[in-house]
């Protein structure tokens, strides 16, 4: 009986360790967890662009949920907690966003957190 329980426990722990993937989402920032959070896919271009609000700053160029090609990039001036951008790479990110507040015009203010990098592909700079 003891041998059976020992084998059963071994199988359980082996199965548990095999099911844990290094690509499973892990929220790095606690601020993104909660009821008002949403998981999404973000595509990040290999080059940055000028920010529309401050042309002296550079912003990421991103697309959300579905890659739509070169014409659909939009400037993204917010930080993504846990993400370190490296120029020359096209990224596909699994992120979590959480509504934190609403600005004076009624627009939502979000916090963005990296869950994991789905892909990081070298791309020549344009």
Helix (H) or strand (E) holding 18: helix 2-19
Give per-residue pLDDT as tens, 24-58: 455 566 677 776 788 999 999 999 999 998 999 99
Return phi, psi of residue 3, to 5°.
Answer: -65, -40
Percent of the chain whose pLDDT exceeds 90: 53
Cα 64 from Cα 101, distance rounded (Å): 21
Return the domain boundaries, the chain.
24-122
Average pLDDT, stretch 83-101? 93
pTM for the model: 0.73
């Amino acid at each position: 009986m003891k041998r059976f329980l020992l084998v059963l426990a071994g199988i359980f722990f082996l199965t548990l360790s095999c099911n844990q993937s290094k690509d499973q989402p892990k929220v790095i920032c606690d601020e993104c967890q909660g009821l008002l959070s949403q998981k999404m896919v973000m595509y990040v271009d290999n080059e940055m662009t000028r920010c529309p609000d401050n042309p002296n700053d550079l912003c990421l160029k991103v697309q959300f949920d579905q890659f739509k090609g070169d014409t659909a990039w939009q400037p993204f001036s917010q930080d993504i907690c846990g993400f370190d951008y490296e120029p020359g790479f096209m990224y596909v990110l699994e992120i979590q966003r959480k509504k934190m507040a609403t600005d004076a015009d009624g627009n939502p203010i979000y916090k963005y957190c990296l869950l994991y990098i789905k892909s990081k592909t070298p791309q020549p700079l344009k």
